[in-house]
Chain A
Amino acid sequence: AQSVTQLGSHVSVSEGALVLLRCNYSSSVPPYLFWYVQYPNQGLQLLLKYTTGATLVKGINGFEAEFKKSETSFHLTKPSAHMSDAAEYFCAVSRNTGFQKLVFGTGTRLLVSP
């Protein structure tokens, strides 16, 4: 079975500061890993994904994440936060075989102050 733990339900940063959102996963098989973003009153949108190959994955809006198998982590980072990054971010995991269903973490709300 797969599961995801997101540390910190809320993260606050100043505009221009580094963004770091933490995600650790548990999976009995090699996983696919995802970050989704949810803006207010909207559905989730895919930010980036790791399937196979390069462990550093770049996504939209300047975000990136690194798959670290030894640490079972897939943390999301952005060098410089913008006000428009304020949203809720979800890490998710699925198996890499068979029909795949995503298992989501509980989410981290990113607050960006001027």
Chain B
Amino acid sequence: NAGVTQTPKFQVLKTGQSMTLQCAQDMNHNSMYWYRQDPGMGLRLIYYSASEGTTDKGEVPNGYNVSRLNKREFSLRLESAAPSQTSVYFCASSGPGGSTGNSPLHFGNGTRLTVT
């Protein structure tokens, strides 16, 4: 049981390049999330998908797009990378109702992205 799998683990981009971060979960969870983690700022929600077929903006969506490809997969795309997007990106999933006490978040191991 792999849980939440993110690829790639590391990536270096030049300013203006594009890339897609991939995320897949095998826990049959309805909800999926993308967070970014920056020193001293904790985790901030970029986008989430409450259920297959829906996506919504989180706290810091500018510069990103997402696709909920199916129930298992939720990708994050940077169309034109900027140095401010240098961060560690985490994908997470949870059961019905969101990140409730009965269905906490399950996280992947993250993607370390550097934009030069």
Could you list which residues of chain A lie within 8 angstroms of chain B, going by C-beta atoms?
9, 32, 34, 36, 41-46, 49-51, 90, 94, 98-102, 104-107
**Residues of B in contact with A (beta carbons under 8 Å apart):** 4, 31, 33, 35, 40-45, 48, 50, 58, 90, 92, 97-102, 104-105, 107-110
Q: Give bound CA distance, A103 to B50, whole Å.
A: 16
Are B42 and A106 in contact, with the CB atoms below 8 A?
Answer: yes
**A-B pairs with beta carbons under 8 Å apart, 12 shown:** A41-B109, A42-B110, A43-B109, A44-B92, A50-B101, A94-B99, A94-B100, A99-B97, A101-B58, A102-B99, A102-B105, A107-B42
A41, B100: Cα distance in complex, Å? 25
CB of A42 within 8 A of CB of B109, answer: yes
Q: Closest B-chain residue to A32, C-beta based?
A: B101
Contact B92 A43 (CB under 8 A): yes
Chain B residues with CB under 8 Å of A36's CB are 105
17 further contact pairs, Cβ within 8 A, besides A44-B43, A106-B40 = A41-B110, A42-B109, A43-B4, A43-B90, A43-B107, A44-B105, A45-B107, A46-B104, A49-B101, A51-B100, A51-B102, A99-B97, A100-B97, A100-B99, A101-B99, A102-B99, A104-B43
